[in-house]
Structure 1
Amino acid sequence: MLNFRQYWLATLIIGAVGGYLASLVNWPLPWVIGALLAVMITRCAGGLVPDIPHGRQAGQLIIAVAIGCHFTLPVMQQVAAHLGLIVIAILLTLVLALCSVLLLQRWGVPFNTAFFALMPANSTEMVHLGRQRQADTGFIAAAHSIRLLLILLAVPAVATLGVPHAVVRTPLPVIWPWLLFILAMGWLAALAFKRCNLPNPWTFGPFLICAVGVGCNNLSMSMPGWLSGGGQLLIGCALGAAFDRGFLCRAPGFLLKVLSLLAGSVIATALAAWALGAGLGMPWLSLALGMMPGSAPEMSLTAEALGLAVTLVTAMQIIRMVLIQAACLPLYRLLVHRPRRSWLAGEGRQR
């Protein structure tokens, strides 16, 4: 009897059809969102379409290198000049996430589950940390899936409305020897990052290799559209495979609470980015994409598609992930062990 995981080619075909249909109607990020919706709808309808083996990792590797090609030396210098602004914006994102955590706890969800469910960090790491602290890992995984789905469906579409005429850029040449070398080195870097238990190894490792390689050698190169599209397709299929028929039946009250808090957080993030951009004379839409509690590849691809500041968005997303990942446990310990002077009193008993 064949294992249903052997039918992963059907997942790829369904995702490709969804991506193609989305491209026909000019959806933002068609090969990500179209594939995600097609695979998700198929699975929720009962179709036995499995995750593509190593598909997400391969997609993240390709997209990380595609985004890294933007990081020329002058651009990296501009990012370094705005480092203070980037950190301030990330701190605002963290404050909004903590407010959502406290509200979810007030609505009856134990603090350990609420905290790791709403921290805008790597979902796998949040599930792992939550399991160590007796949180409900099923709720945590579901909350992060809802977060990514909401961000991907709402943010690119709204951002497209904010930029009615995207900038058409002249594509840079594809330097195949360098591109193949960077892809190979990025793969090795991802394996090294994974072995060292670093967050998001298949994004951060290849991105670091590409950014350093392009910046230090002053290269002006890009990735061919068909290869970048293939990476987007693999990511979309992987995201869609996280949903099934029983997903929305799993504690619908909890999921509705999470969805409402995430929607409010997205709106608040956009308003904070607008205020920050207006005060400092920065492009607020680029700041908003950089501050969104989504995923670095998808937000960077949205910025690229709209002709926005790809490097600023990517730098903000990566620094956000690193800082929040590093601050996660100290913040948890600080909040969970606060005495009765705070409204978290007694949460130490829920651990």
Structure 2
Amino acid sequence: MQILFTLGVAICGGFILSLVNAPLPWTLGPVAAVSLTSLLRKEQLTWPLLIRNIALIPLGYSMGRPFTVETGQAIISQLPFMLMATFVTICAGLFSAWLMFRRTKIDFTSCLLGCVPGGLSQMVILAAEMKDVDLTAVTIMQTMRMLSVVFVIPFLAIHVLPADGPAAHLAVSESTGNILVFALAAVSGAVIGRLIKLPTANLLGPLLATAVYIVCSGHTAPIIPQHYLYVAQICVGSYIGSSIDLRKIRDYHGMGPVLVGSVLLVLCVSMAMGCVLAYCTPSTIVTSFLSTAPGGLAEMGITALTVGADSFTMTAYQLTRLLFIMLVFPYVVRFILKKFKFQ
């Protein structure tokens, strides 16, 4: 019954935002409705991780279906820019952490883990594995960043920045592949991705598997009907909303103004990096902005599908930053703490 109640709340939220033409209504509506309902009820609504993972598969497939050999070559040529964008974004996060440490009573380790733009779940897991970290503070900071990203970035991409042309993403060749074969490839990609522990495996696995099958078969991947994607977005938005505890944000160490400032700083740096990439690479401003935005693969992927951005280029940039944060950033944190002794 709890799941059905959460689903009803999520659908109502999506319907309301769709009536006012809000960006990504079937993702952001469930996020807002579920999190606010949890706040009003003083009890967190629940949404199964399994359903969210299943919903990511068609989204990953849709992100992978525009792939071509030329797309892969273009991505490889942009590797130096990916590393540069990752470095600049991480530096902005580190500076935000320093400001948060100087202006609040939160320890520097928690500020580092809370301000650097990684995924909410990944950073919370990383914080739980490190000693003397204020897990609540990290959760609040990452939650505020995620809320800002999932509401601000889609609005800018859809209503402010010039839209990308849809032709490259909607073109259908004479040899359209069988939807069942592509579905099997996408599901297999998700399973393999989980076995080899890919980040966001249920999204990235289908994306890569679809791309590989397109290159090997020469077929064009069929388009998933839009209403199926709306259902997937509701499932993803419901999970995000159920993972946000707004009760923790109301007052905590007086971090509010500093946290807002740090989030704005990272967003501004991301926007500036997007402009630089649009000037230095073949990518459009929308694709470049989504590539450098401090969001997660799922949220930025849904936005890219909506505005017709280059999903593969965006994924490559986001994945580069995510892998750096997961594999290298813990050592960066330990080095900073040992070298400068902020504690």
The answer to whether the Cα contact below 8 Å between 2:10 and 2:30 also exists between their aligned partners in 1 is: yes
Change (3 A) 1:47 1:65: farther
Structure 1 segment 1-351 matched on structure 2, within 5 A:
6-46=1-41, 50-53=45-48, 54-108=50-104, 109-131=106-128, 132-163=130-161, 167-169=165-167, 170=170, 172=172, 175-194=178-197, 198-221=198-221, 222-244=223-245, 246-251=247-252, 253-279=254-280, 282-338=283-339, 344=340, 346-347=341-342, 350=343
Q: Report the Cα offset of residue 281 of structure 1.
A: 6.3
- Once residues 313 and 334 of structure 2 are traced to their aligned partners in structure 1, the CA distance between those partners, rounded to angstroms, is 32
- Once residues 189 and 78 of structure 2 are traced to their aligned partners in structure 1, the CA distance between those partners, rounded to angstroms, is 26
Change (3 A) 1:145 1:297: same
TM-score of the superposition, structure 1-length normalised?
A: 0.86
Unpaired runs of at least 5, structure 2: none
**Higher mean Cα deviation, 30-39 or 209-218?**
209-218
TM-score of the superposition, structure 2-length normalised?
A: 0.88
Change (3 A) 1:193 1:252: farther
- Once residues 168 and 274 of structure 1 are traced to their aligned partners in structure 2, the CA distance between those partners, rounded to angstroms, is 21
The answer to whether the Cα contact below 8 Å between 2:61 and 2:210 also exists between their aligned partners in 1 is: yes
Q: Report the Cα offset of residue 228 of structure 1.
A: 1.8
**Higher mean Cα deviation, 160-169 or 120-129?**
160-169
- Once residues 165 and 202 of structure 1 are traced to their aligned partners in structure 2, the CA distance between those partners, rounded to angstroms, is 28
Q: Report the Cα offset of residue 126 of structure 1.
A: 2.0
Change (3 A) 1:286 1:187: closer
The answer to whether the Cα contact below 8 Å between 2:93 and 2:266 also exists between their aligned partners in 1 is: yes
CA RMSD, aligned part only? 2.4
Change (3 A) 1:61 1:145: farther
Unpaired runs of at least 5, structure 1: 1-5, 339-343
Q: Report the Cα offset of residue 107 of structure 1.
A: 1.9
Q: Report the Cα offset of residue 118 of structure 1.
A: 1.6
Change (3 A) 1:323 1:25: same
Aligned residues: percent identity? 22
Change (3 A) 1:124 1:301: closer
Q: Report the Cα offset of residue 299 of structure 1.
A: 1.3
3-state SS of 1:253 partner: coil
- Once residues 136 and 333 of structure 2 are traced to their aligned partners in structure 1, the CA distance between those partners, rounded to angstroms, is 19
- Once residues 229 and 247 of structure 1 are traced to their aligned partners in structure 2, the CA distance between those partners, rounded to angstroms, is 30
- Once residues 81 and 37 of structure 1 are traced to their aligned partners in structure 2, the CA distance between those partners, rounded to angstroms, is 39
- Once residues 55 and 149 of structure 1 are traced to their aligned partners in structure 2, the CA distance between those partners, rounded to angstroms, is 21
Q: Report the Cα offset of residue 164 of structure 1.
A: 5.4
- Once residues 135 and 287 of structure 1 are traced to their aligned partners in structure 2, the CA distance between those partners, rounded to angstroms, is 34
- Once residues 331 and 23 of structure 1 are traced to their aligned partners in structure 2, the CA distance between those partners, rounded to angstroms, is 43
The answer to whether the Cα contact below 8 Å between 2:9 and 2:30 also exists between their aligned partners in 1 is: yes
Q: Report the Cα offset of residue 291 of structure 1.
A: 0.6
Q: How many residues align?
A: 334
3-state SS of 1:246 partner: helix
Q: Report the Cα offset of residue 22 of structure 1.
A: 2.0
3-state SS of 1:28 partner: coil
Q: Report the Cα offset of residue 185 of structure 1.
A: 0.4
- Once residues 280 and 205 of structure 1 are traced to their aligned partners in structure 2, the CA distance between those partners, rounded to angstroms, is 26
Q: Residue type matched to 1:302 in 2? A: T
The answer to whether the Cα contact below 8 Å between 1:11 and 1:50 also exists between their aligned partners in 2 is: yes
The answer to whether the Cα contact below 8 Å between 1:72 and 1:220 also exists between their aligned partners in 2 is: no
- Once residues 23 and 293 of structure 1 are traced to their aligned partners in structure 2, the CA distance between those partners, rounded to angstroms, is 25
Q: Report the Cα offset of residue 202 of structure 1.
A: 2.7
Change (3 A) 1:210 1:47: farther
The answer to whether the Cα contact below 8 Å between 1:61 and 1:202 also exists between their aligned partners in 2 is: yes
- Once residues 280 and 21 of structure 1 are traced to their aligned partners in structure 2, the CA distance between those partners, rounded to angstroms, is 39
